[in-house]
Amino acid sequence: MQLIKIPHVFWTGFLLVVLCSCQSTNIEAPTTNLDLNSVEFKQDTIYTFNTRLEEALNAADSDFFASQISRSAISEKLTEKAPDIFFSPQQIDATALKFKNKVLESVSVIPSVISWEYLYSETFSLAEVASYYRQETEEGYNYFIFWVNPNTFQIFDFHPVTFELSGLDFLVKFSSLMIENSKGDNKQLVRKLIAAVQAQDIEQIIPIYREAKDSLVSEPVLDDFVLRSIGQFASSENYETLIENIIADFEKQSKSSLMFESYYYQQGNFSKAINAVKAVKKFALNDSKMQSELSILHSLNNNHSLAIEHGSAAIIANPQDEEAYFSLLQVALYAEDHQLATEIIDVLVAKFDYIIDKDVIVELDNHQAFLESDTFAAWAQKHMQI
């Protein structure tokens, strides 16, 4: 089972962008919520763009990727989302450049990348299209949204779905949070939290974060701030204590994050691991990889009917995904549904030209009952594979 581990190097860099954008202004800025309505759009052109982008990402073609991230488009969005935060066009442009560089850095520093795959796009307005991507690494799968202007094919925002907010929304809303709390005790509270993160003072982060949540009214952005910050502590001996405390605070709010799945899995708490996976955006949740992930987790949680349901959904989502069939085969063995297991083996043999013998089957969990079953004996005799 491949567990998901989201890289965090990029997100602490965003904090520097936030600080730069807020240091010179004390103007109060309201948070802007965009009301986006789906419209019809020529999907063939956005498909062509994303096909090229996918090729560039897989070829590590940073020049092409950089050429598609528009500094001017980012500036326009900053002006639209936060017209009162920045003093001048020059400040907006400088912030846009920092944001662009951080997006480039975020893609280039992710370790152990095996491949990027473009999934599909969804249109929200004549100038905003969300292009959905899956990234496979040696440690699992990550999901991202590239926000694109379909008229110019320029990228203006970037959103790893383990976080609630996109990069630009985080930048704007955290800037607003700092401005709105620029006086009195709250000002010191925000600054203390930032200083604790920058100083990697783990013992101070949790109590300051909790105090901030009690005093400030911008919970989503504050939660995003903490999630984007904790990656820099991964090598610390106190990291487990830090993540446990943050998870406990999220649980009190009935919230979760894909970032927590690995922790819950290691603790054997499969119900909460399932909730962590289900916290992702719909496009990622419906992907074959996440459906397979849910099928395995439900099996480990002894809910075999749901496990088979999700395993089947993974195959429906992508009938060419070989991994989905092997995941469902593992689920069938967990459930001791030996008839289903033989049917999946038949598909693997016929569709993907696999040779399935005992050496393959013994690599799966709970294989012994299957190998000793009458169902397997009858199947083996008929197919002469074993």
CA distance 337 to 363: 17
Answer whether residue 17 shows pLDDT above 50: no
Would you mind telling me the total number of residues written for the chain in this entry? Answer: 386
* Confidence band of 219 (pLDDT split at 50, 70, 90): low
CA distance 146 to 154: 10
- Dump pLDDT digits (tens) for 157-211: 999 998 999 999 999 988 888 777 777 677 788 788 888 877 777 778 888 888 8
- The amino acid occupying position 333 is L
Reduced to 3 states (helix: H, G, I; strand: E, B; else coil), residue 1 is: coil
Q: Between β-strands 113-125 and 140-149, what pairing exists: parallel, antiparallel or unpaired?
A: unpaired
Percent of all residues in the chain with a pLDDT value above 70, rounded to a whole number = 85
CATH classification for the domain delimited by 286-383, as one of 3.30.1240, 1.10.287, 1.25.40, 3.30.1050: 1.25.40
Q: What is the pLDDT of residue 19?
A: 39
Q: What is the pLDDT of residue 217?
A: 62
pTM for the full predicted model: 0.85
Residue with tokens 């907010």: 165
Taking the CB of residue 119, how many other CB atoms lie within 10 A of it? Answer: 19
CA distance 75 to 81: 10
Domain boundaries, the chain: 9-171, 182-271, 286-383
Selection from 44, 155, 56 nearest residue 115 by Cα: 56
